[in-house]
Chains A and B, each alone.
Chain A
């Protein structure tokens, strides 16, 4: 899931300076789970904006705000609404998808933080940095690119102290976790696999994948 966090409201208000009539768009998926762009969040935003001299002229919550065709349909509510700008309460991808479908300025109300795991309601952990060459098959299902502060792919640096990472002692050393997990799985030999050159060729952006073209 894409983890988002609300921007300080002053930052959004600065973007909206000189704008009176705004449309709000959220997201029924990730941003709803992050409590940054669900129904309740849109209602709160509407109330705040209206209390601060703005006029909310329409709202929409597509099931996903990153689906171009879906968003195209949903933004129709803004077409004749007189909206001067749209506040997008989804992730950065959502904001761009909205912008690609409307000839209006789009202002994001959220910061897009990371691709994360939902630990429980309201608690998210970064787990994958989308490196384009997944190695967790040989690391016991624990990602060294994300969980090791140096993204080491060949085992630990010498820096852990009492199992904690030298970079941030709040975190366990990823490689000790990986090792313990491999032992648990009876796959210790995998720790010997040399991957000196993970390669970052697949990491250059913007990336595009088309299943049609691949066929």
Chain B
């Protein structure tokens, strides 16, 4: 059974991280970074050509992680594949023992690095989830044909954007995702408790039963925070945090210490995780470190999160 599913069923605080495959065919950097995550997380999301930028496939890195004994979470978007191709990916994944997935609609090709590619979008996130649920229930593929040996089972997840106006649209879509089979959701990066609490209240009010994992993006610098505020949908880094990063940069310059803003970012992430866990605001966290996976053990230690406890 999926490690993440086991954790939630045992009432544990779920922890996941995220990695991107290389833009190339040498996976050694990814495999080295993955070592920081061994025994620290319940699963590692492998992104599926995020921002529509060409990389090696999610399935490829998932297989490598699985073979190295690290639990992968197969991210699947509908941007580049028809439902036929999606089923093919899942059957292949299952044959390697991959049993956890996260379904996304996917970013449009026009925001990516090969704009001439045809966007497929045969199925959206709901459609992918329902495809898997229907396949599990019937043992048949999307054409109604029997699958040899029955259908594989996946622990299915989705994403959600808590900072969204009008929020009711995200809540409705979340409800649909859960109706279609999502058992857990990872949120877009959040930086404060308040918006997360507001979102959780809305989830409760709508009576949606799903494990929510708060998305955590450790900030590296004030510039990164400002950039994300301006251009990444659903991201809202508060001013006082940007100031902490700016002050840290100034202090570092004055004292000749390198990487102070990054350290402050790690502290802020750890503080937030600790509060989420202590106040039991949601069921877990999803760490998006954007290439800085080596910081994850430090963040989890500072936050007092140990999946083996």
Q: Which residues of A contact B (CB under 8 A)?
A: 149-161, 166-168, 175-176, 179, 188, 191-192, 194, 196-197, 200
User: Which 3 residue pairs spanning A and B have beta carbons closest together?
Assistant: A158-B161, A196-B130, A155-B173
In this complex, the member of A151, A152, A158, A175 whose beta carbon has the largest number of chain B beta carbons within 10 angstroms is A158
* 8 Å CB contact of A194 from B105, B110, B122, B180: B180
A150 to B77 Cα, complex, angstroms: 12
Q: C-beta contact mask, B53-97 vs A, less than 8 Å → 1, else 0?
A: 000000000000000000000000000000000000000000000
Binds A, one of B7-15, B42-50, B164-172, B263-271: B164-172
* A155-B105 CB under 8 A given contacts A160-B233, A176-B166: no
Q: C-beta contact mask, B243-272 vs A, less than 8 Å → 1, else 0?
A: 000000000000000000000000000000
Chain B residues in 8 Å Cβ range of A166: 107-108, 111, 233
CB of A155 within 8 A of CB of B160, answer no
Minimum CB–CB distance from A196 to chain B (whole Å) comes to 4
CB of A156 within 8 A of CB of B108, answer no
Chain B residues in 8 Å Cβ range of A160: 233
Chain A residues in 8 Å Cβ range of B231: 161
CB of B175 within 8 A of CB of A192, answer yes
Whether B119 sits at the interface, judged by CB under 8 Å, is yes
Q: Which residue of A lies closest to B159 (CB)?
A: A158
Q: Which residues of B contact A (CB under 8 A)?
A: 105-108, 110-111, 119, 121-127, 129-131, 159-161, 164, 166, 168-170, 172-173, 175-176, 179-180, 188, 231, 233-234
* 8 Å CB contact of A192 from B111, B122, B176, B234: B176
A63 to B264 Cα, complex, angstroms: 73
27 A/B residue pairs, CB under 8 Å, sorted by A: A150-B108, A150-B119, A151-B121, A152-B105, A152-B124, A154-B124, A154-B126, A154-B176, A155-B172, A155-B176, A156-B170, A157-B105, A157-B124, A158-B160, A158-B161, A158-B170, A159-B233, A160-B233, A166-B107, A167-B111, A192-B175, A192-B176, A194-B130, A194-B180, A196-B127, A196-B130, A196-B131
A159 to B233 Cα, complex, angstroms: 5
A88 to B91 Cα, complex, angstroms: 51
CB of B127 within 8 A of CB of A197, answer yes
CB of A158 within 8 A of CB of B164, answer yes
CB of A153 within 8 A of CB of B172, answer no
CB of A197 within 8 A of CB of B233, answer no
A184 to B178 Cα, complex, angstroms: 27
Query: Beyond the given A159-B107, A196-B127, could you list 13 further A-B residue pairs with CB under 8 A, ordered by the A residue number?
Result: A150-B106, A150-B108, A152-B121, A154-B127, A155-B176, A158-B234, A160-B233, A179-B169, A191-B169, A191-B172, A194-B130, A194-B180, A200-B122
Q: Which residue of A lies closest to B231 (CB)?
A: A161
CB of B173 within 8 A of CB of A156, answer yes
CB of A168 within 8 A of CB of B110, answer yes
Minimum CB–CB distance from B78 to chain A (whole Å) comes to 8
In this complex, the member of B125, B172, B175, B179 whose beta carbon has the largest number of chain A beta carbons within 10 angstroms is B172
Q: Which residue of A lies closest to B162 (CB)?
A: A158
Minimum CB–CB distance from A160 to chain B (whole Å) comes to 6
Chain A residues in 8 Å Cβ range of B164: 158
Chain B residues in 8 Å Cβ range of A149: 108, 110
A76 to B204 Cα, complex, angstroms: 72
Minimum CB–CB distance from B140 to chain A (whole Å) comes to 14
Chain A residues in 8 Å Cβ range of B110: 149, 167-168
A94 to B73 Cα, complex, angstroms: 52
Q: Which residue of A lies closest to B187 (CB)?
A: A158
Chain B residues in 8 Å Cβ range of A158: 159-161, 164, 170, 188, 233-234
In this complex, the member of A151, A168, A192, A197 whose beta carbon has the largest number of chain B beta carbons within 10 angstroms is A197
Minimum CB–CB distance from A65 to chain B (whole Å) comes to 30
Q: Which residue of B lies closest to A192 (CB)?
A: B172
Chain B residues in 8 Å Cβ range of A176: 166, 169
* A194-B108 CB under 8 A given contacts A151-B121, A160-B233: no
Chain B residues in 8 Å Cβ range of A168: 110
* A156-B233 CB under 8 A given contacts A150-B119, A167-B108, A192-B175: no
CB of A153 within 8 A of CB of B124, answer yes
A176 to B167 Cα, complex, angstroms: 11
Chain A residues in 8 Å Cβ range of B168: 179, 188
Minimum CB–CB distance from A203 to chain B (whole Å) comes to 10
Chain B residues in 8 Å Cβ range of A175: 169
